[in-house]
Amino acid sequence: MKILVVDDERDVEDLFRQKFRKEIRNEGLELVFAFSGKEALEILETTNPPQVASVFSDINMPGMSGLEMLGIIKSRFPQLQVNMISAYGDTDNYTRAMSSGAKGFFTKPVDFESLRREIGEILRS
Amino acid sequence: MKGHRGFQMRLSRRVGFLAAFFNLLTVLVSPAQTAEGLTSELRKFENSPGFESDTTYLNKANELGFLLAESNPDSSLVFLNSTILLCREASYKKGEAEALKIYGNALQNTGDFKGSIEHYNTALAIASEIPGEKQVPGILNNIGLVNYYLGNHTQALNNFYDAIKRADLTNNANVKAAAINNVAMIYFEQGKLTEAKEKYRETLAIYQAINNPGRVILAYNNIGDVELRQNNPLEALNTLKIGYRAALELKSPEFIEMTSRTLADIYSALDSLDKAEALFRESISMSRENGYGVPQAHSLIGLADLYYKKGKLAEASGFAKEGLQQAESMAQPMLIRNANELLSRIYEEEGNFAEALQSFKLFKLFNDSINTSQAQRLTASLEAEYEFSKRELEYEKASLRQKWIIFSTIAGLIAFLIILFVGNQNKNRLNKAYHALQEKTAEIEIKNEKLEKALDQLKATQVQLIHAEKMASLGELTAGIAHEIQNPLNFVTNFSELGSDMVQELREERARKPEEQDQSLQDEILADIQVNLDKINHHGKRADSIVKGMLQHSRTSSGEKLPTDINALANEYLRLSFHGLRAKDKTFSADFHTDLDPNLPKAEIVAQDISRVLINLFNNAFYACANAEFRKENPDVKPMVELSTKLVGDTDRRQIQITVSDNGPGIPSAIADKVFQPFFTTKPSGQGTGLGLSLSYDIVKAHGGELKLKSKPGELTTFTIFLPV
């Protein structure tokens, strides 16, 4: 089960890999990382339908913002679940994300327990 | 005063020439003879009977009469009268006309102009009846002279021109020249100097043609005199030198005296006082020897003037008095006037004010008479007045001193009052000017204070504006800063939580039985803990540097230049700018790209100042290419800001080049040169201070660098900073 994480902060990769070490080791979770919206779309487009089960993306990124990317993903791969993560948990961002078809909305600093539950659900589905 | 006086003296000398002129006429009629010689000749005739009707005798009598009329006009009248009667009895018309003319001369010399002209007219009537009318031009000339003396210049000129015409008809070159000479004299007196000189030159030509060396000298003398009057003493000197040399050659005392007198006047005008003195003395001694009364008076007064100029008052006084006496005996009003004028000045300097006043009164009297050119008054009233004043003065002599004291006291008082008045006027004027000046000064001071106040206010405003600009750019950064701090803080939180989890996990692992423990897992966990601790450290430092940078930005510049890593600085502020804009505007979307030269040396800069420049450039760049309006209008453009650093320039003058480009609308060339001006902004009001680029420009300049703008409207805008290494 592949999950794509999109964030311009590279340390996010280390963070996620360690946080979900058990899931990776024991539950077949595979994490893929992209550091911009553009990169994320490239990864998704390698196969159709994408081999990725779900996407977790930051909103504030240089170039294409997370919300822009969300729109593109939803137009191309409507079935793909996308969760947004933002440092700014304001209603504006939340509303925009949810109306654009996001499955969930997490605020930074990420509550990894809720994130783990979400990923657990994906893994079990 | 001196010039005026000189003019008067020259005028008076003219009378001297005229006197010499009559003499010359006789000299021409017959060889030079003395009165004594003629008298003895006449005595011889008187021994023979019928001598009364002998024309030779009568001619001789006229010759003697002529000389007497010139030398002693008063006593000559009896003798002349007898000659007239003898000629009339002998029906010798020519002799009678001549005798009448000479009688006229004598009357003229005594100052009886009325009588003189009557006799001339009688002579003219007789001469006109004689065939050939040879005597007519000469008589006309003499009538002209009387009219001249009477101040009837127009009538005189008519007479002279008449004489010239008649002289032409009778081929009388001498009389013609004499009449022209008299015309010149009138022009001279009327101040028509150019015309006078021209006429004198005509006489010179005539006399040269008829080879009359004496008259040639006279002409030179007169020409030189005009030149002196024309304020051309050097030219006059040259002319007179010719005349004087000729006179010496001719050995004629008359002309030597005349030219030396004129020369003396010229030297006096040239302030060659010693030469002038020698010549005046020559003139005086020759005049004394030969009985030239008028010239003697002239030269005595001239000599007195010289001594006066030298400050030798006693000598001056002596000569002036002698000259005056001589002038009075010759009845020469101009010379009398001049002598009195000089004497009054001499007396004044001697402190002899009573005498000074008397002389001055006389001077005034003669001067007024002469200046009005009324010879009638000159003879009739002047003499009377002169006598009257003389008597009056005699009468007043006794009380003169007393009167003089009163007069001088009053005069002194008046003078004092005038001085007081003038002084007061001046004081008032000065006071007024001073007050006006003070008012102006006060005004200027007030203005100055106002200007200084305005300047202070402007300076304060400038400081406030700079601060406002700084705060504005800081405000724009706030969100970016929050984001930039939030991110590392999140990592710190996350990685520390993770570390805590891992420690827990490790404990659990180690709580197992030793055989169940996974050693590699433990190693892995420990390694991860180590990595996490490093991450926490890294992100902590990252937050720290951002906070420090922010503080540095808001602090007042210390102005201290420190070696700074431009790449790090530029990169940091690019990110701050980007996140700041993104945080503020949810729809904001832009990409940025960096191309940083890894070999860039550190630059000596005031980092907080340069950082403000960079923030400005980044904010502007992002705003330009990513503002909502632009994106709406240009949906195909992907907003992109590029930062690049590079080392450029020659080895001896290397520069760090920092370029910030955006693919926004570009800056039209029309406003390209305005963007660095203070308060220039294209942002909607309230959104920009308009000071960002202006201050940036100043900051870069203060670093010895340059800030340049290059823009292709519709494509891109590039700001380039050059900083010296």
Taking CA B649 as the corner, what is the angle to CA B643 and CA B654, rounded to the nearest 5 degrees?
90
With pLDDT > 70 as the criterion, what percentage of chain A qualifies?
99
Q: Are B105 and B123 in contact (CB under 8 A)?
A: no
Mean pLDDT calculated for residue range A66-87: 91
> How distant is the alpha carbon of residue B694 from its chain centre?
50
Per CB-CB distance under 8 Å, the chain B contacts of A88 are 483, 583
CA distance A16 to B230: 122
> Is domain B566-724 in CATH 3.30.2420.10, yes or no?
no
Per CB-CB distance under 8 Å, the chain A contacts of B663 are none
Q: Is B592 at the interface with chain A, CB within 8 A? A: yes
Helices (H) and strands (E) in chain A, counts: 6, 5
Give, as one character, the DSSP assignment of residue B719. Answer: E
Question: Quick one: pLDDT at residue B243?
Answer: 92
Rg of chain A (C-alpha set)? 13
Give, as one character, the DSSP assignment of residue A110. Answer: P
Residue B501 distance to chain A (closest CA, Å): 9
Question: Quick one: pLDDT at residue B462?
Answer: 76
CA distance B103 to B120: 8
Q: Which two tokens stand for residue A107?
A: 């605020």
Q: Is B631 at the interface with chain A, CB within 8 A? A: no
Contact A109 B493 (CB under 8 A): yes
Question: Quick one: pLDDT at residue B165?
Answer: 87
Q: Is A94 at the interface with chain B, CB within 8 A? A: no
Question: Quick one: pLDDT at residue B526?
Answer: 92
The neighbour count for residue B306, using CB atoms within 10 Å, is 22
AA identity, residue B550:
M
Q: Is A96 at the interface with chain B, CB within 8 A? A: yes
CA distance B286 to B293: 10
Any idea how long chain B is? 725
Contact A65 B502 (CB under 8 A): no
Give, as one character, the DSSP assignment of residue B704. Answer: T
Contact A60 B583 (CB under 8 A): yes
Question: Quick one: pLDDT at residue B688?
Answer: 63
Question: Quick one: pLDDT at residue B689?
Answer: 64
Compute CA distances B382 → A117, B51, B379, whole Å.
149, 44, 6
Q: Is A11 at the interface with chain B, CB within 8 A? A: yes
Q: Are B502 and B601 in contact (CB under 8 A)?
A: no
Question: Quick one: pLDDT at residue B34?
Answer: 76
Strand A30-34 to A2-6 pairing: parallel
Res A33 pLDDT > 90? yes
Which of the residues A15, A35, A41 would you substitute to probe the B interface, choosing the one with the greatest number of B C-beta atoms within 10 Å? A15
Q: Is A49 at the interface with chain B, CB within 8 A? A: no
Which chain A residue's Cα is nearest to B499?
A: A18
CB proximity under 8 Å: B 501-560 to A: 502, 528, 531-532, 535, 538-539
CA distance B378 to B391: 18
- Classify each residue of A84-95 as buried b or exposed e, where b means 16 or more C-beta atoms within 10 Å of its C-beta: bbbbbeeeebbe
CA distance B17 to B184: 12
Contact B491 A11 (CB under 8 A): yes
Which chain A residue's Cα is nearest to B479?
A: A88
AA identity, residue B117:
I
Nearest to B547 by CA among B488, B606, B492: B488
Question: Quick one: pLDDT at residue B241?
Answer: 92
Residue A30 distance to chain B (closest CA, Å): 19
> How distant is the alpha carbon of residue B623 from its chain centre?
66
Partner residues linked to B656 by β-bridges? B647, B723
Low-confidence ranges of chain B (pLDDT < 50): 1-31, 373-392, 395
CA distance B203 to B220: 10
Which chain B residue's Cα is nearest to A90?
A: B586
Contact B589 A65 (CB under 8 A): yes
> How distant is the alpha carbon of residue B617 from its chain centre?
61
Contacts of B177 (CB under 8 A, 6+ apart): B202, B203, B206, B207, B215
CA distance A91 to A88: 9
E strands, A1-125, in order: 2-6, 30-34, 52-58, 81-86, 104-107
Residue A79 distance to chain B (closest CA, Å): 25
Q: Which two tokens stand for residue B554?
A: 């808001």
Contact B495 A15 (CB under 8 A): yes
Start-to-end Cα distance in chain A: 10
Q: Are B80 and B99 in contact (CB under 8 A)?
A: yes
Which chain A residue's Cα is nearest to B574?
A: A62
Rg of chain B (C-alpha set)? 59
Per CB-CB distance under 8 Å, the chain A contacts of B493 are 109
pLDDT tens for B182-206 read 889 888 877 888 989 999 999 999 9
Question: Quick one: pLDDT at residue B471?
Answer: 67
φ, ψ for residue B675 (rounded to 5)? -65, -25
Look up the ipTM and state it. Answer: 0.85
pLDDT tens for B531-566 read 999 999 999 988 887 777 677 666 656 678 889 999
CA distance B641 to B614: 13
Task: Tell me which residue in A14, A63, A93 faces B591 most closely, judged by beta carbons.
Answer: A63
Question: Quick one: pLDDT at residue A32?
Answer: 94
CA distance B210 to B173: 8
> How distant is the alpha carbon of residue B373 from its chain centre?
40
CB proximity under 8 Å: B 461-490 to A: 483, 486-487, 489-490
- Classify each residue of B52-80 as buried b or exposed e, where b means 16 or more C-beta atoms within 10 Å of its C-beta: bebeebbbbbbbbbbbbbbebbeebbebb
Which chain A residue's Cα is nearest to B576?
A: A62
Question: Quick one: pLDDT at residue B582?
Answer: 79
Q: Are B23 and B292 in contact (CB under 8 A)?
A: no
Q: Which H or E run contains B412?
A: helix B383-511
Nearest to A72 by CA among A100, A46, A52, A51: A100
For chain A, helix, strand, coil in percent to 5 are 45, 20, 35
Give CATH 3.30.565.10 domain extents, chain B. Answer: 566-724
CA distance B499 to B270: 123
Task: Tell me which residue in B490, B498, B589 faces A68 most closely, judged by beta carbons.
Answer: B589
Q: Is A88 at the interface with chain B, CB within 8 A? A: yes
The neighbour count for residue B589, using CB atoms within 10 Å, is 21
Task: Tell me which residue in A18, A87, A108 faces B528 most closely, judged by beta carbons.
Answer: A18
Give, as one character, the DSSP assignment of residue B702. Answer: H
Question: Quick one: pLDDT at residue B399?
Answer: 56
Which of the residues A5, A20, A21 would you substitute to probe the B interface, choosing the one with the greatest number of B C-beta atoms within 10 Å? A21
What domains, with CATH codes, occur in chain A?
2-124 (3.40.50.2300)
Residue B490 distance to chain A (closest CA, Å): 5
Per CB-CB distance under 8 Å, the chain A contacts of B497 are 112
Contact B493 A87 (CB under 8 A): no
Judged by DSSP in three states, B661 sits in strand
Q: Residue B666: which region, alpha, beta or left (left: phi > 0; alpha: psi -120 to 50)?
A: left
AA identity, residue B438:
Q
Question: How many inter-chain contacts (A to B, CB under 8 Å) are there?
Answer: 62
The upper half-sphere exposure of residue A30, i.e. CA atoms within 13 Å in the direction of its Cβ, equals: 6
Q: Token match 């311009």: residue? A: A8
pLDDT tens for B468-517 read 776 666 666 666 677 778 888 888 988 998 889 889 989 998 998 888 88
φ, ψ for residue A45 (rounded to 5)? -85, -5
Contact A62 B531 (CB under 8 A): no
Task: Tell me which residue in A9, A18, A60 faces B498 most closely, judged by beta carbons.
Answer: A18
Task: Tell me which residue in B487, B578, B589 faces A87 most closely, judged by beta carbons.
Answer: B487
Question: Quick one: pLDDT at residue B485?
Answer: 81
Contacts of B95 (CB under 8 A, 6+ apart): B55, B58, B59, B62, B83, B86, B87
User: What does B206-255 look like in DSSP terms, one character per residue?
Assistant: HHHHTT-HHHHHHHHHHHHHHHHHTT-HHHHHHHHHHHHHHHHHHT-HHH
Contacts of B121 (CB under 8 A, 6+ apart): B143
Contacts of B62 (CB under 8 A, 6+ apart): B83, B95, B98, B99, B102
CA distance A102 to A104: 6
CA distance B100 to B79: 12
Question: Quick one: pLDDT at residue B472?
Answer: 67
Which chain B residue's Cα is nearest to A91?
A: B586
Question: Quick one: pLDDT at residue B21?
Answer: 43
